[in-house]
A and B are shown apart, each in its own frame.
Chain A
Amino acid sequence: MASVEFQNVTKSFGSFNAVSDISFKVADGEFICLLGPSGCGKTTSLRMIAGLETPSSGKIMIGPDDVTHLHPKDRQISMVFQDYALYPHMNLADNIAYPLKVRGESVEKRHKRAKEVADVLKIGDLLQRLPSQISGGQQQRTSLARALVYPSRVYLFDEPLSNLDAKLRLEARGFLNHLQRDMGMTAVYVTHDQAEAMALATRIAVMDRGRIVQFAPPIEIYRRPATTFVANFVGNPPMNMIPVEGIVESEQLQLRAHGVLVRNLPLSQGIKAALGKGAALTLGVRPEHLSMGTINDTNTLSGNLFANENMGPEKLVTFERQDGGRVTARIFTDDMVETTENVAFTFDGAHATLFDAEGKRIAADGERPL
C-alpha cells in the first residue's frame, strides 16, 4: 500500500477545466471518497491517478514516486470500472487471472490464485462461465476479484456499485467496508451517492465544478459542512437551508424570516464578522434535528403541511413557510403528526448551522476538532 498525493493538479479539455488546481493527500491505508454531482470531475481525477488521463499541469505522487507521466501498467494499481470491463471472450477464471497472466505467472498458479480470490467473493463456482452468463452482482464481484488478485499499491473505484439494485448495493457496500478493515487498503472511491461515501470513507473529498470544497472525515462533513453546497449535498434528505436576517439584540443573535423564530443564539466572533458584511445569513438545520413543537418554543420553524411521507421507522414531514420555502423534518413514526394545516417544529440551538452571505459556514467560538 502507498499514499497518493495531488499537487496543484489541473486537467483541461480544450478551454474547459474539468479539474482545477486540486491538491490533497491520501495517507497510506486510507479509504477516501470523491463525492460530488455529475460532471464535477471525479472520474477525471481518478483516471489521472490510474494514468488513463494526463494532468495538464501539476504533479501526482504515489508513495515516494512521481507518477505524473508514468504509463498505467507501471503504476502498480488496481481499478474497478463502473461498467466492470469484463472481457466477454474470457471465462471468469481467465478474467480474474488476467493481471497475473501479463505478469508472466504460469497457468496453474494464476488459476489457483483466481480460485482463492473468487472463493472469498463467493463466485468460486462460476469460474467456467462467460461474463454474459452471470448476473450483474456477480459481474461486479468478478471485477472486484480481478482488482484484488494481484498486489497493488492503490485501489481505485469508479462508482462500482451504481449498476446494482438497492439491496445488492447495500450488501456490496458492507463487503467493501469489511475488506477495507481487513486489508487496510489505500483506496480512492468515486461516487455521487452521499450515503455510500459516508458509509465507506475515512475521509470524503466533496467536489464541485472541478474543485475540492471540503476534505474531511464523514462526521465532520455531516456536522460541519464547509459551505451551503456541501450541506445541500450530504444527508438524506439534505439539510434545510433557510435564508434569514440576522439581528443583534441584547448581545445575542436573533434570526428572522417568515415562519422562523430563532432567538438568543450566542454571538460568536465569526457571526460578528459575518454580520459586518451584511445581515443576510443562511440557517441550516438537519431534518433529523427537528422535532414536533409549538409555535411558542424558543427555536421554531412553522408553516403549512405540504407532505407527510411514511418511511417505515420514520416519517418525513414537509411544510411550506409563508414565503414558499419548504422545510423537511424527519421524525419517528411514533411521534404523531396531527394532520392540521399548521405545524411547528423545534430544534436545539446547538444544532443550528449558520452560513454567511457567501455561503461559508460560520464557526462557533472555540470549536474543537471532531
Chain B
Amino acid sequence: MSASLHATGKGMNLTLHVWRQAGPGAAGRIVDYAAPDISPDMSFLEMLDVVNERLIAQGEEPIAFDHDCREGICGSCGLMINGSAHGPMKLTTACQLHMRSFKDGDDIWIEPWRAKAFPVIKDLVVDRGAFDRIIQAGGYISAPTGTPQDANALPIPKADADLAMDNAACIGCGACVAACPNASASLFTAAKITHLGSLPQGQPERDRRALAMVAQMDEEGFGGCTLHGECQEACPKGISIDAIMQMNRDFVRASATAVQAKEWSGAA
C-alpha cells in the first residue's frame, strides 16, 4: 500500500497495558503491548485500530472496544485511560482524544468502565443497558405521535430552554459512573430529570418521573451519591452537578406529595 504518511519520524513509541477479558464471566487480566511509531495526529481509537491491525497480523485477537460516531456524540466509546474516564483531556471523549496528549515512551493503562451495574462483556466493552432502563422508568414526556398544538403556542423562556439543553446534552456514555467512587448514576439520571423538568411540557409527569427514575437507578445496583463531584469532572459534555441538587429537590418534593396523597386517600 501507499507509503505511510505518518511515518515521518514524529512517531511515538508507547507501551499499552490493556484489560483483556474473553467473555462476561471470564477472568480478565492486564496484557502489555508495544505500540511503536504512533503518530500524534491519531485519535486514541485510531491508535487502538493500528494496534489491532498489528495484532491480527500476528494472529492474535484484536482488542474489543465500543465506538461508532468517533465525534464525541454517540456515547459509545468509554475507556479508563490511566485511571481517568475518557483520559486526561477535559470535556473530551476517548474518540476525540488525540495522541498528542501523550509523549514518546509513555505507558498507558486502558481499562473498561468499572461498576457493578456495568458488567464487562469483553475486553473494554461493558453492558450499559441499565441506562436505558432508567430512561424507561420515566425519562420521557408522554406525548404520543399525533397533532399537538402549534409549537409556538407555548413560549418557553430562553433561560429555561437553555438549561434544558445544557442537561439534554448528556450522551449516556457512563463516564460519570466510572469516575464515581460509589459508581453512582446520579449525574446521568439527574441530567434527564433536569432536562425534562425545566420545560413546561415536562411538568405533569415531573413527580412520577423523579420517583420512578431514582428507584430504577437504585434497583440497577448503582451506588448512592455522596457529592464527591468526580462525575462532573469526568463528564465530556460538561453536565453540572447542579442537576443532582435539582434531582434531589424533585425527589424529596415528589416523595412528600406521594405521602400526602396516600394520607388523603385514607390509604396510609
A and B interact physically? no
